[in-house]
Structures are given as structure tokens and as C-alpha cells.
Chains A and B, each alone.
With several copies, the nearest count.
Chain A
Amino acid sequence: ETKIITEMPATFGIGRKATNAEIKAWDIDVRPDGKGLPYGSGNATEGKVIFTQKCAACHGKEGEGGAYARLVGAMGDTVKAKTIGNYWPWSTTLFDYIRRTMPYNMPGSLKDDEVYSLTAYLLYRNKIIDSTKNMDAKSLPKVVMPARQYYVDDDRRGGPEIR
């Protein structure tokens, strides 16, 4: 006999269990605590070489900006643009973003070592780490970004107040 249920059932039994393989293929995010960072490493010297080949055409010879965004501008510099040095609050974001979407014309094409190297290079160019410092799953999350201290969560509280 047909069963009529007006409340939502606990589950609908629609969809299937995700396989580990399909999760792994897509689970590319990196959190500030380093969760998600892959095996591998790189430093600014290695990064400079790759940057010249794959990034400089759009972001300038050394990241000073060109057709697209300026990436370099240490905190306190006269640079007006928002940069990794003066605006980015978390170092892990750099790895995550470069890996998922740069270079713009070949998104998702970089090897993890290359991403570590480019990350190191851009941190170095923004005067956050020195040129010899190796970036890997352990060291990168420890890099404290200069702009971090300025970030506050949304302070608008709703209601009449204008903020």
C-alpha cells in the first residue's frame, strides 16, 4: 500500500557515495593551517626561472605588473596597488590560488614543486621571506603575512546603523 509521508525523510536515498579517487582529484584547496598542501618544495631562485617563463609576460619581468596585476609591493612601499606584500593576509592562499588558476592561459598546468617555487619567489619579492628559504607543506603555513593584522570580520551588524 502506498505510504504517504508529509515530513521530510531522514534521507532520500538519492545520489551515491563519493569515491576516494574522485574526492582526491578535486580536493585541491589549501587552508591557512596548511591542510591540503601537497608533498614537494621550492625556493625563490627556482621560482624566478619559472616566473620569467610562465608569468612575466602578464605580470611584468619581476612581478611589477604589466598587462595584468602587479604582484609585488612590500608593506610600507609607495606602491598603491594591493599586493601580496601589502594586502594578502595568508601565505597559503598564494599556493592555493596559483595552483588552481595560474598561469591564466594554462590554468591548472603547474606541478606542485613549481607552485612552491613561485610562491617562494613572490613571497621573497614582497620582502616576506629571503631568497634561500625553502617553501613546503611545513614552512609555508608558518610564514606570517604583513597585512594579516589589519583584517577584521565584517563589523556591520544589520539594522539602522551605517557601517
Chain B
Amino acid sequence: ALVKTTTGQFVPAAVAKPASAPPDPTKVQGPPPGAVGTRSPFEQLAKKTSDTSSRTPLQSLYGTITPSDLHFERHHGGVPVIDPTAYKLVIHGMVKKPMTFTLNDLKRFPSVSRIAFLECSGNFRSGKQEMTPQEICGLTSQSEWTGVMLSTLFREVGASPKATWFLAEGSDAAVMTRSIPMGKGWNDAMIAYGQNGEALRPQQGYPARLFLPGWEGNTNVKWIRRIEVSDQPFMTREETSKYTENIKDGKIRQFSFDMDARSIITFPAYPVQLDKGWVEIKGLAWSGRGKILRVEVSVDAGKKWYPATLQEPVLDKAHTRFRFLWKWNGNETEIMSRAIDETGYTQPTLQQLIDARGTDMGGYHLNPITAWIIKRDGSVLFKPEKWK
């Protein structure tokens, strides 16, 4: 099967799909070990693309790691091709010594790895019953990120204690820029160059990106080339015209960085055809504010809630797999999940969000409970809700 790559080419998904598997695989020698493994031609995994984004097929994935080639994408100027030997990161502004680092330099500093999610703050779609988890909230993915702590670089350049914000700038055609509080930079920000064991993929910022655990995707500036240390925010287009949201009383919320707790049941979900009997309800839960403390599942449209099992280890600011064993008796019902994080926050309903933000509520930072309707015939449908 052909798939469209990020460079717009159509290439075979892995190796070309064989006409058929041999009737008895024990009777024929298979191919020997190879330099690069392949995806089974029987597995057709793909992101769902639009002009500006591509969405992770959450309903098709296991565990918590997102295969790097299925990590969601959201760019504002496409995916730049960057020669790693020409790459440099400049840090200047309110620093003792403005400095330039090559990619090799970045890799020579003490390094750190962490498994964490990355989610676009625009990660919410609704509208019809025939929607998959991928379509509803496929703009979240998880990787093991490796890089150097930004604090290490701040120490190296002598960032001023008086500085309060820094500008992160990418080297894509959008020359993407975001203003970030220095506190985040000193705390847990990374300049990441590794993703799931290998170099970052071009779609995720190769050869280096800003990674801000738990913060909205857009702030995690990809293909980063420059950091300017400052004592005020820069008010770039992305943090004003975009990535801000209408709230009550005509107000517009800016610098809303943290991704609030959220969860979604990824099985059973549209377009699954469910069989009666035992069902392991499975899904993902995450919070940009810390660890997932608990996930609760309801199988009666939200009347009663039961704790789901969390897959250990539960990590800080990470997709956490939850599971809940349920025997479906064949009656129509609604199932849903809600995440509770270690700050005590409980994932709200859409109505609670409207109550809090007003009916002019903007499209970012929407993390409502997702409900699935299970019909008597076993079909599973998304339950869309409107507010505008």
C-alpha cells in the first residue's frame, strides 16, 4: 500500500504487500536478518492528514509510546530540511556571554531522557457520531525525549537572574516564535535531540527542538535556532492571534501554557463493532500538571464511576494507559472516562467548561469527557456535544 510521506511523496508503507502469505509459513525459509526492520505489510497505520496537521491513530496503538512515524504533526511553515552539520543554536540577550552551540556541542553536555506526552492545545474536534479517537483528539502523542536541560545551557551562557521571559525561535519557514517564562526554562525545559531512542524525526523538529513537559504543543518550538533572553514577552503572532482563547466577559486568555488533565477511551470506540461479554475498556489519560492519580470509568452514561487500573509506571506529564474490565450485557449504554491528576483536578464535562468559560469559549484547551454510545447492535458511536 502506498502512503503519503511528509515530503509529499507516495512510498510503500513498508515493504510492498505480498499477494498473500504462504499457506504454511513453516514450510518455507523466510528472509534473513536485515539492516532495517519493517512494519508488517498487513498493518496499515497512518496519520490522518489535513493541510496543517496530521493526527495519531490513537485507537490503533498499544501501550504508551507513539511510534515516531505516527507522532502527530502541526506545522506553520512545513517541515524544513536541516543539515545537522550546519545546525547551530544561538543564545543571546540578557546573558553574560552570548553563545553558539553546534548539534555536537548540545550532545556533549550532560543529557537527560524522559517519557512524556506532547499535545497541541487545539486538540479537540466534535460534530458527528462517526468520529474516531484519532479524529477527536489525535493531536497528542508520546515519546521518550532525550536532550540537554535548558538550565544547563542557561548556566553556560550566564543567563541573567533578572530575565523573566525568553524567546524561542525555529528555523522553519514560519520562523516560529514563542515567549516562554524563564521559570519554565530553569525548571524542566529541554533542548531535545532524541526521540524514542533515535534522533528527532524531521516532523518533530530535527535536529533539535524545545521540549516543555506538559505545555501546549506550539510552545515546544521545533527546529530551534535561537533563544533570546529578555525581561518581557515578545507578543508574537502565535501567542496573540493564535493559541489564546475567549473566556467569560469578553476576555481573551493569553499564555495559557499548561495542558489540563484529560482522558479518552480508545477501545471500544468508533468504528469498533462490539461483541457481548467481557470487554477490556482501554484508553489513555494524561495531565500537563503532573501525574495521573486516578482514572474513573462510567458504563452507565455517567451515573456511577469506577476506578480503572493504571499501567505502571505512572510517569509525570505522561500518557498513562488505563484499563477497566466490564461485561457488556448487550443493552444500549454510554461509556466514558475521566482523568484525575495529582493536583486534584478532575477532567470536566463540556458543560462544566462552558460554565467556567462562557458560551464564547474558544477552541483551545478543550479537554472535556468523551462519551461513546454503545448500540444494541454493538456499534459504537461518538457522542458529540455542541456549544455554539
A residues at B contact (CB < 8 Å) = 2-6, 8-19, 22-23, 26-33, 82, 84, 87-90, 92-93, 96-97, 100-101, 104-109, 147, 150-156, 158-163
With contacts defined as CB atoms under 8 Å apart, how many contacts are there between chain A and chain B in the complex?
194
Q: Report if A14-B90 is in contact (Cβ < 8 Å); known contacts: A26-B169, A154-B253, A159-B345.
A: no
**CB pair A12 B235 closer than 8 Å:** no
Q: Chain B residues with Cβ under 8 A from A30's Cβ? A: 234
Pair B155/A10 contact, Cβ less than 8 Å: yes
CB of A106 to closest CB in B, whole Å: 8
Say yes or no: B91 contacts A18, CB within 8 Å.
Answer: yes
Q: Do the beta carbons of B343 and A160 come within 8 Å of each other?
A: yes
Nearest Cβ distance between residue B215 and chain A, in whole angstroms? 11
- Binary flags per residue of B87-103, CB closer than 8 Å to A gives 1, else 0: 01011100001111110
Question: What is the CA–CA distance of A105 and B30 in the complex, to the nearest angstrom?
Answer: 10
Contact B234 A31 (CB under 8 A): yes
Q: A6-B325, A12-B156, A23-B98 are in contact. Are A87 and B92 (CB under 8 A)?
A: no
Identify which of B101, B175, B250, B252 contacts A28 (C-beta below 8 A): B175
In the complex, the chain A residue whose C-beta lies closest to that of B328 is A2
Are B156 and A108 in contact (CB-based, < 8 A)?
no
Per-residue contact bits, chain B 69-92, to A (CB 8 Å; 1 contact, 0 not): 000000011000000000010111
With contacts A5-B327, A29-B234 taken as known, whether A158 is within 8 angstroms of B228 at the C-beta atoms is no
Q: Indicate the member of A3, A8, A82, A156 with the most B CB atoms within 10 Å.
A: A156
Please name all residues of chain A whose beta carbon is closer than 8 Å to the beta carbon of B152 when the two chains form the complex: 8, 12
Main secondary structure, interface of B, reads mixed
Report whether A8 and B325 are in contact in the complex, using a CB–CB cutoff of 8 Å.
Answer: yes
Instruction: Choose one: A3, A14, A158; the contact of B156 (CB below 8 Å).
Output: A14
C-alpha gap A33/B234 in the complex (Å): 9
Contact of B235 among A89, A107, A109 (CB under 8 A): A89
Tell me which residues from 263 to 315 in chain B have a Cβ below 8 Å from any Cβ of chain A. Answer: 277-278, 289, 299-300, 304, 306
Tell me, in angstroms, the Cα distance from A6 to B309 when the chains sit together.
Answer: 10
Expressed in whole angstroms, the Cα–Cα distance for A2 and B108 within the complex equals 19
Is B254 part of the contact surface with A, judged by Cβ < 8 Å? yes
* Contact call B256/A156, Cβ cutoff below 8 A: yes
Most chain B CB atoms below 10 A, which of A3, A151, A159: A151
Q: CB within 8 Å of A: which residues of B?
A: 24, 26-29, 76-77, 88, 90-92, 97-102, 105, 108-110, 152, 155-156, 167, 169, 173-175, 177, 225-226, 228, 230, 232, 234-237, 240-241, 244, 247, 250-258, 260, 277-278, 289, 299-300, 304, 306, 325-329, 331, 333, 343-346, 348, 352-353, 355-357
- Rounded to whole angstroms, the CA-CA distance of A82 and B92 in the bound complex is 34
A108–B357 CB distance below 8 A: no
Residues of A within 8 A of B255 (CB): 153-154
A155: chain B residues within 8 A (beta carbon)? 247, 253
| Contact partners of A10 in chain B: CB under 8 A | 155
A19 vs B99: C-alpha distance when bound (angstroms): 8
**A-B pairs, 9 with minimum CB distance:** A97-B237, A18-B98, A100-B175, A154-B256, A15-B101, A160-B344, A18-B100, A90-B235, A107-B173
Besides the known contacts A26-B225, A108-B175, 16 further A-B residue pairs in the complex with CB atoms under 8 A apart: A4-B326, A12-B277, A23-B98, A27-B92, A27-B228, A32-B235, A33-B232, A84-B241, A87-B252, A90-B240, A100-B174, A101-B77, A101-B173, A152-B247, A152-B251, A162-B356
| A84 to B178 Cα, complex, angstroms | 19
B253 proximity list for chain A (CB < 8 A) = 152-155
Given contacts A14-B101, A27-B228, A109-B27, contact A151 B237 (CB under 8 A): no
Q: Can you give 22 contacting A-B residue pairs, CB < 8 Å? A: A2-B299, A2-B300, A8-B325, A13-B277, A14-B109, A18-B99, A22-B90, A29-B234, A31-B230, A82-B241, A87-B240, A89-B252, A93-B235, A100-B175, A147-B252, A150-B251, A152-B254, A154-B253, A155-B247, A162-B345, A163-B247, A163-B357
Shortest distance from the beta carbon of A122 to any chain B beta carbon, whole Å: 12
Partner of B278, one of A13, A161, A162, A163: A13
Alpha-carbon separation in the docked complex, A82 to B240 (Å) = 11
Give chain A residues whose Cβ lies under 8 Å from the Cβ of B304: 4
Does A3 lie within 8 Å of B97, measured CB to CB?
Answer: no
Q: Is the CB of B343 within 8 A of A17?
A: no
Given contacts A23-B92, A26-B225, A108-B27, is CB(A156)–CB(B167) below 8 Å? no
